[in-house]
Chains A and B, each alone.
Chain A
């Protein structure tokens, strides 16, 4: 099967000269469609940095990177923006919803940003909200939602543009384990159902059984333990 995501010998160095820190050292990873990858590792090991590079938020110091067969490490910031909008769905550590948008508008923002005012955007939004059990909340603002509901809205938002790749940075950090598990379960189901690729950074060992692969980052070195 084709690799949706390909990282080859990615390195990232922060700062320059005497104060430079090598956060990622020759990291390689391939993710196929339908795979759900967990990234674990101690604090400060470079997980967020890794995810940022994968999500075209940060350019690597060296290395090659492809999303859906397209080289992206050489793109201009503007092209990267476009790429994020079309191909990548983000779920952040804290849900990071826009406080002044209702649940429904959080989702409609995505087609608005891509400048495509498709008529079926609303239908798609409602579909997603329905699937995530949020229909009764569609006109609420984030401030009146529970943590789990917010995280589910963030997931719906990440799915809104039908991305190839879903990236999640500790999506369960602000949730209790039961709700956290439900959220991760939803991610796993989506990946299987629509043949996407997903990478999730997590500290929570109890979620790992829901993932297909687990990679470890320590001191900028990535290693993978085969499951079972």
Chain B
């Protein structure tokens, strides 16, 4: 890369400036991506971490768990199509609680589960609730920040029932509220059952193959089977939040492509005469194209390395309450995408270079 390196060395300032813009753009992309990722788990980690791949919802519930009602009969029907233990009911109830005796309110979401099923959360502190208790719960760790401790009593303001915290779990949120796990005994005390001898809940979590999912969808007319991803989209606020962030990221990628495209296009136009000379003395178009590709990749890779270090550096000084989560795969994905985008930006210049005629060089006064 005889020409590429020597040119960049000679025109340092220009290339440093474009590199600087790229660093800022990539930094912003990584930061917003980390934020989107963090917000997504802050919003919906309970569903993301749930050991399930499909969910059964009442028909026409718009993928919203809270909007769906599923009965015991539905459960029996669904279980005909799944293996033992691969279909388990889940109750979801968003509500407001207080610490018993206090007035400060906190929004939480109750998840009612069969405590022996695949939905049982991992306990990080205390113990799991058992099948029989009606007034014990396991809560997401994040409510500790609100002053709740092991052994505290909470009061559900909607039903007036009180529950004792016997354990804590981690990474369990739903629509930005901490999730509180209870068993179905607890569930029947807080939900307003119209039919006392038939249990009502919101959804059935499944762990099945795509084929089985299709079967259930086909054979049971009054339920929908949705994927975990669809369920995430159905969480109140999730789609809107992620949508706007993802749009920002997409725009940043497009802007990067254009910035690179314009920069290299202008550079190429400026160098038309030079390229003509190079061709006249025998340079092939592919050689000139390789020079440009090398420069684009060089700038992108250097900018990526700088931005990634900057982002990681900044993530250390961010406050804990800031939902920022940058995974290796996310950084890797962004980097690959940036390389692709930068190559797209270079296309215009490559096209111009392929059209350069050696004849440009001869008989021109300048």
Q: Which A residues fall within an 8 A CB radius of B?
A: 47-49, 51-52, 55, 57-58, 78, 81-82, 84-86, 90, 92-94, 96, 98-101, 105, 108-110, 112-114, 141, 157, 161, 169
Contacts and interface: CB of A to CB of B under 8 A. Distances in A.
A93 B364 contact: yes
Interface string B57-71: 000000000000000
A98 B287 CA distance: 15
A93 B6 contact: no
Given A81-B284, A90-B280, A52 B362 contact: yes
Contacts of A84: 280-282, 358
A127 to B, nearest CB: 19
A98 B282 contact: no
A227 B3 CA distance: 45
Interface stretch (B35-43, B121-129, B271-279): B271-279
Interface in B284-343: 284, 287
A109 B3 contact: yes
Contacts of B104: none
Contacts of A81: 279, 282-284, 358
B366 A109 contact: no
Given A84-B282, A92-B361, A113 B366 contact: no
Interface of B: 2-3, 6-7, 9-11, 273-274, 277-284, 287, 358-359, 361-366
A113 B287 contact: yes
Contacts, number: 86
Contacts of B358: 57, 81, 84
Contacts of B365: 93-94
Contacts of B366: 94
Given A86-B282, A92-B361, A98-B278, 13 more contacts: A49-B363, A51-B362, A52-B362, A57-B362, A58-B359, A81-B283, A85-B282, A92-B362, A94-B365, A94-B366, A101-B6, A110-B282, A112-B2
B2 A100 contact: no
B10 A100 contact: yes
A109 B2 contact: yes
Contacts of A86: 282
Contact of B274 (A94, A99, A157, A161): A99
Contacts of B280: 55, 57, 84, 90, 92
Nearest to A100: B10
A19 B283 CA distance: 33
Contacts of A99: 10, 274
Given A98-B274, A100-B7, A85 B363 contact: no
A48 B362 CA distance: 7
B284 A78 contact: yes
Contacts of B10: 99-100, 141
B357 to A, nearest CB: 8
A52 B363 contact: yes
A47 B10 CA distance: 36
B287 A169 contact: no
Nearest to B10: A100
A47 B284 CA distance: 26
A52 B281 contact: no
A201 B278 CA distance: 21
B363 A48 contact: yes
B277 A52 contact: no
Nearest to B282: A85
Contacts of B7: 100
B361 A96 contact: yes
B290 to A, nearest CB: 12
Contacts of A105: 2, 6
A105 B362 CA distance: 22
B277 A96 contact: yes
Given A96-B277, A98-B274, A141-B10, A90 B362 contact: yes
